[in-house]
Each structure stands twice: as structure tokens, then as C-alpha cells.
Structure 1
């Protein structure tokens, strides 16, 4: 058994709640732009003083509507300014916010609202309202549904006109540090989502220590972040609360399809995302270079960036020749890539899945350092992350200051600290299984090095044991294969089988370019192409790259290209894009069987 800890850098308030942050900001930085909202295609700053006033007026409406202290209020919307406004308004009414993914089905909505006992629900669109109303007969406790696109904020402001500022401030002060702040429902990869109860203390410990450890990235009045992750996900919530705690200027992007344009107009100093975003930026840039006849130059620039980054970890640093190449490519290639990410940012924080060493070195080499981290809903987002000044690429960093990471005898990662959730809502059995003597059992397998840097190697429940008795952790090879531009998703199989195989889907965004480059008719589907020799050869390159990261016994011997995508709508991935392995295995059982049929 091995463990590592770092001293806390942020003193969690003994009392109080998250609404104290917006009152503090208004008192200390009244004219500082702490948020920005998009209006008529332009960013409009919102000062700390104005944000507090908006939150207070909106909270008055909730109070007037009968929302009581401790009541649960659901919030279902894309990532937009009103999400943060309503989140703080719910807390200011003394209530508990319950985020719902905006892509949730009526059945999922019914479960979350009924299990949490929500008395009100704030939705964004007509479609969301329709989904809630379609199951309202199963939600006897639900009294109100307001819609953002039908001026929910204005309606609440008018409804609360009779509530005084003193009444509103008294209500906002009722919750203490150990009161529930939110109930975040897990993605449900193995069954019905469970509601993780996260307190105000959990968020203070989490966001406070993240901000202090990464303080150069959170300088008030200088730094900014554009939030494009779903705020229903705990990582998005950390970004929201961390930005307000710092405080730094926070913007929202509702549609990731517009991300490049939004980054260019907002120009954040820091980016927070998941590996798929950084993979897409790299693959798109490489594909564009190839289409312009500059693929060779891009590949040489990428190799130079990786060589430069790797040399940074050596005692002597990059050689003169590497530095000269790096400087030349900075003008030709690297600067253009940084401009795609807004032009000002020099750091990003990545979580949700492994980034991969090659991509980590590539981004650091172009002058855009991606700090990888690791966390779960139960750990209130990041429980480990790479510090800005001592990054170790290939790891998820050191423990959150003030917390402890322990590796059990069987390799499982255990966590302890003030950021760990208090339990699952209405589910004592699941709580007692996950929490033991104050330690949270993550279900992940990992290692700690001598400096306390954590590496995650797989999930206990996802370990594949081949017929030959070889234990295989799928994550490592899956992530390497998925990094290829042509690959959309990859799921490794082989439990009880003679060798490891894989199910692979094609990337819908990259496929049209592949068709054009290989003289295939536009619109040709994956179902038609799955046995195409050239396509199979290109996918084999991705598999070969993945196999290079593991032993021969763990390598993928055969693969099948699937005719369909793994999507949330198909039921094969969660809203946070985690594979529902059991569902995939069941739905594509015939494809798996074909891997092992001679």
C-alpha cells in the first residue's frame, strides 16, 4: 500500500456557502468583469456588482414561488450564461441544484426529478419543456417549470418583486458549509444513475485548492476562461465555481460546433476541455495541411514539437539544432495552431479520459501546455492534476492539495479529503460500498511514483482476462487507437477469449476527407466501406500504434469496423461520452463473435 498527500493551500470556510463568493466579489471587485454574456453576436461584460444584483433578483422569484430551504431545483440547459446565473440563484434561495443533461431522454428526466424530489425545474428550450411535461404525471412533487428561452429569468424577477433585499440575503445565508449544494447524477455506465451529494464544503475544498495551486492561470483582472463543457457535468461545474472563486472572467459556449469562432472572439487565457477536443484540433490541422499539400511540413513540425518537449524533461534541455527547428516551425505552424485555440492561451486543463503522451508532448512543444488531471463526480471533479510548474506528461499529476491518494494492495485508487462527496442520495447501500472509514473507493487501478504523481491504468470492473490468463486494461490501447483521425470510438474485447480484439467506429467528421483523398464517392457510408482494403489498411495503422503501447499478449490481433456509431442516442455512451460496455457488447455480440470465428 502506498499513499501521497500535499498540504492544503486554501482554508475552507468553517461556515458559509458558495453564495458568499459573489457577495465577496461585489465587495472587493465591484467593477471587475467576472462574467461575459453573448448578446447580438458580441460579448458583453458583467461586473461582480451587476452579477450579484441579477442573482439576488432571480433568487427572489424562486422564494416567492414557494421554493423552500433545502428544496431541490432541477436545471436542464446547454452551457450558457443563464446556467451560472440560475445555479447561484438556486443557492441564494437556500435550495439545492440538480443538473440534468440537456440531451437526457424523458425516462432519464423522470428518474432524476423523481429520485431527487425536485419541486421546480428550469429548462432551456421548447423541446426540453416538452420532455419534462411528457412525464409530469409521474412527478407529483414538481410544482413549477420555467423556460429560459421564454424569459424564465424575467418572469422570476417580476415574481419576486415583493421580496426585499434583506429577506433575500437572509435566505442566502441559511445554508452552511456542510449543507448539500447539488446532487449530480452519475452517467450510469452500469445501471441507473446515482445522485452524488456534493456540499458547499466539497466545492470550497476542490475549487479553492485548484485555483491556489494554479494561481498564475487564475489572476483576477487578467485571466479568462471560456466554458464549453456541459455544466451538468462536475468538471464543467468546477470551471464555473473556480472562475467565480478566483475570480476571473467567465464566458460560455452553448454549441461546440461554434467553438473555434467563439474561442477567436472571446480569446481566453486558459482552456479547459476533454482529450477529444485536443485530438480534434490536432487531427483537423493535420488533415487541412495534407489537403493543402503541406502534410509533410506539418508532420515534421509535429515531430520537432514532440522532440522539443521531450528534451525539456532532460537535464541538458533541447539541443541547439532542436531549438532552431522549433523556432522556425513556431512561425510556420505552431502560431497558427495557437490561434485556433484563441491566440492568448498558453495552458489548458484536460480531464475525463487519458490524453496520451504523444499528444501531451505535441501541445507542450507548440507552446500550449495541456495539464492533465483526473477525478470523478464523487471527488467533486479533479482529485489530481499536473501543476503548472512541474508537469509530468503521461501522469494525471499530484493529489489535490489538502487531500490524500492511496494505492491499495490490489492497485485500486482510494481517495480521502474534504472534496469527497458525502454519499449517494437515497442510496445507503451504494454509499456504504463506495465509502469505507472515510476513504472513497474509485474502482480505478493506478500507480504512484516517488514524487506522488498518479498514473491511471484502467478500471477494476473493465479488466479483461483472456483465455490464457492475461489481465488486460483496455483504456491504454483504446486511447491510442482512438487518437487516430479516422477512428471515432474503440472498444477492446477478449474476456475469456484466446486473444484481444476490438470494435471500431469511423470518425464522421474525418470520413468525408478520407473519401475524397482516396477517390471514393462522397457520402459513402461506414457500412459500405467496412471491408474496403485501403480503409482497413489505414485503420490497421491506428491499431498498430495502439499495440506499440502494450505487450504482445495485450495487443489487438483482430478488429471489426462497425456500420454504426456509438452515440448517446443509440444508448452506447453516456452524456459525458463514456462507453456503456455492457450495452455495446450485447448489441454487437454478433460482431464480437465474428472476431473469433475462423
Structure 2
């Protein structure tokens, strides 16, 4: 026997709101000229994208998807590492009520085949040639898959060109026909307990946790011009969630980082105020800094600074107050070590 228990949410989501609403509501509050995203242009180099330009690209991609024949509830796969185009296409799919079925960029062709067939994917977009070839190798075993596009092959430009045949009125009608309880995405589990299972999430699911995040983590997500450097895979719900939090805030900026090969110069140039990561990433940063400090006098100072940081963090997590000696040591290491890290 199975029992189900429900409780009302703490935040309100109107029936006509969608993930796309996060973007349009931000523009209504702050205008078209604020910076919303950063595109990677080289090691440590970025170009800024305004809310107006991001919105234009989203609408152009949405028209292209409609022209291709993607209807409400149709599944589209993004098989790509985290990058700017992923964000644009994600919002375009949300706008017209299509279902984003992401595939991890590390998944094999066989894993992608199962996900695409299980969810009935109609269109797939990859980031590069290698992943394009991975899908192309299984194309004849995916009867519902009609076409594969490639971001490196100007997928956004192709969709924009295709979408010129779609009127603004048709696009607006599709946007108006998408609602909070419509399916937004199917995310497949890691498969650690068998074959991966598709988890269905609605627009309301994501909007609820995003708005709860603003209440619980407002000082991180909303205060003091927040800047997010995003490098975890957007195929994962947590990375998607934090992307939505950034774009839906008043002045959040998200920098899309396809890989972590140049993480240290990217951190220095982008200057994020917060990160979403896993322990291994931060271990690499710590180890690199430790190696640079060496084993001599600088190495001893680095070790003392690390210990001071741990003690400082434990005191804050326990809700305690820092002693005068802690504050003095922390201020000294802030100048000599922490800023450089």
C-alpha cells in the first residue's frame, strides 16, 4: 500500500508563470540594458550579454524551434557541456512549452540512445563535432529523432534563419499556452540502481525552489551584484536551478564555463561572488595554490592561513563570535594569502 502526503508550499507560483517568466519579469523590473550573462571568448576572456540581447536570442531560437515543428510537450535533447547556448536554448524551450531532455556530456552513445528513445526526442542539439558524431552513430536506431544540430556549427543561427517564417503572433500564442503545471524537463537519474529513470519536473517545480532560494539564500543570490561562474553540467538539476536563480534575480550575472581547464585564470578574470561546485574542483584549486606556495617560508604561511580559515569557518557555522586574535590573524591572511587565492 502506498500513501501520499502533501503540504502547501511556502512561495506562490501563479498558474500562468513559467521558467521563461523569470527572464521576462527581470526585464520588466530592470530593463533591457543590464548584464545578465558572460560568454567565454578565450582563456580568462569574456564578453558581456545584456538582458535585451539574451531575450532576443531566446525568442529567435523559439521561433526556429516552432518552424522546425517542435510542438507543446515535444521532447528536445541538449547533449552538451555547460555553455552560453545551452542557457539560451533552455529558455527558448521553456517559452514554447517544449520539454528539455538533457543528456550528460559524458554519456556514451548507448546511454544517449536509451534516453532519446525512452522520452521520444524529436530534435537534438550537441555542442561539438565529437558529440554530434556520437548521436549520428545511433540516429538510425532512434526512429523519433528527426535532426541533430550542432552549436559549433551555428545552431542558434540556423534556428534564427528558420524562424523568420514564424510570426510574432504565433510565437506569443505558444508562450501564452504554456503554464506552470506543464512539463518543463525530464531528467534521467545516474542509473546507480539500474537503468536510468526519467524524472518529470514541471515549471512550477523549478519556480518554487528558485523563489525559496531567494528567501533562504538571498545574501548569496541577490545581494551585492551577485556573479555566478557556472561550470557544473547543466544536465544536472542543481546547475539548472542555480542558473535560474541568477537569471531571475535583479542584477545577477552568470558566466558559462564549458570546462575547467583554465579555471584559475577564469576565476581571476570573471571574479565570481559565489560558485556551485563539487569537492574535487575545490581540491584542485587548493592543491594548485599549495604547490605554488611551496614548502619553504611561503608554504608555512599558506598552511597557517588555511588553518586560520578553517577555524574562522567553524566559528561562523557554530554561530559564534570571532575573537580579537582571530580577527587580526584573518585580516593579515586576507591581505597576504586569501586575495591571491
TM-score of the alignment, normalized to the shorter chain, above 0.5: yes
Q: Is the 8 A contact 2:18 2:95 kept in 1?
A: no
1:186 and 2:171 are equivalent in the alignment: no
Does 306-315 or 157-166 show the bigger shift? Answer: 306-315
Alpha-carbon spacing, 1:322–1:91, altered in 2? closer, same or farther (3 Å): closer
Q: Is the 8 A contact 1:123 1:148 kept in 2?
A: yes
Alpha-carbon spacing, 1:168–1:221, altered in 2? closer, same or farther (3 Å): farther
Q: Which has the larger radius of gyration?
A: 1
CA deviation profile, 1:197-245 (whole Å, cap 9, x unmatched): 0110000011111122222223378221111111011111111111122
- Give 1:173's aligned residue: 176
CA deviation profile, 1:498-553 (whole Å, cap 9, x unmatched): xxxxxxxxxxxxxxxxxxxxxxxxxxxxxxxxxxxxxxxxxxxxxxxxxxxxxxxx
- Give 2:26's aligned residue: 25
Question: Offset at 1:100?
Answer: 0.6
The structure with the largest strand share of the pair is 1
Q: Is the 8 A contact 1:17 1:173 kept in 2?
A: no
Q: Is the 8 A contact 1:221 1:249 kept in 2?
A: no
**Partners in 1 of 2:300 and 2:173 — Cα distance?**
65
1:84 and 2:96 are equivalent in the alignment: no
1:304 and 2:305 are equivalent in the alignment: no
CA deviation profile, 1:317-358 (whole Å, cap 9, x unmatched): 333333333332222222222xxxxxxxxxxxxxxxxxxxxx
**Partners in 2 of 1:112 and 1:212 — Cα distance?**
35
Question: Offset at 1:171?
Answer: 0.8
Q: Which of 11, 20, 38 matches 1:36?
A: 38
For residue 120 of structure 1, give the secondary structure of its aligned residue in structure 2. Answer: strand
Question: Offset at 1:8?
Answer: 5.8
- Give 2:69's aligned residue: 66
- Give 2:278's aligned residue: 274
Aligned residues: 332
For residue 52 of structure 2, give the secondary structure of its aligned residue in structure 1. Answer: helix
- Give 1:15's aligned residue: 16
1:332 and 2:336 are equivalent in the alignment: yes
**Partners in 1 of 2:120 and 2:318 — Cα distance?**
56
Q: Is the 8 A contact 2:26 2:249 kept in 1?
A: no
- Please list, as runs of the form range in 1=range in 2, the aligned pairs for 1:400-439 lying within 5 A after superposition: none
Q: Which of 132, 157, 161 matches 1:158?
A: 161
Alpha-carbon spacing, 1:44–1:221, altered in 2? closer, same or farther (3 Å): farther
Q: Which structure has more RCO (C-alpha within 8 Å, separation ≥ 6)?
A: 2
CA deviation profile, 1:356-379 (whole Å, cap 9, x unmatched): xxxxxxxxxxxxxxxxxxxxxxxx
Question: Offset at 1:291?
Answer: 4.5
For residue 281 of structure 1, give the secondary structure of its aligned residue in structure 2. Answer: helix
Q: Which of 27, 51, 65 matches 1:48?
A: 51
Question: Offset at 1:314?
Answer: 6.8
CA deviation profile, 1:85-134 (whole Å, cap 9, x unmatched): 01111122321000011111110010110001001101111111111111
Question: Offset at 1:153?
Answer: 0.7
**Partners in 2 of 1:314 and 1:101 — Cα distance?**
37
Alpha-carbon spacing, 1:303–1:221, altered in 2? closer, same or farther (3 Å): closer
Q: Which of 287, 311, 335 matches 1:283?
A: 287
Question: Offset at 1:270?
Answer: 1.5
- Give 1:102's aligned residue: 105
CA deviation profile, 1:377-430 (whole Å, cap 9, x unmatched): xxxxxxxxxxxxxxxxxxxxxxxxxxxxxxxxxxxxxxxxxxxxxxxxxxxxxx
The structure with the largest helix share of the pair is 2
**Partners in 1 of 2:317 and 2:77 — Cα distance?**
47
- Give 2:4's aligned residue: none
TM-score for both structures, normalised by structure 2: 0.90
**Partners in 2 of 1:188 and 1:236 — Cα distance?**
19
Alpha-carbon spacing, 1:147–1:299, altered in 2? closer, same or farther (3 Å): same
Question: Offset at 1:84?
Answer: 0.3
- Please list, as runs of the form range in 1=range in 2, the aligned pairs for 1:345-360 lying within 5 A after superposition: none
- Please list, as runs of the form range in 1=range in 2, the aligned pairs for 1:531-546 lying within 5 A after superposition: none
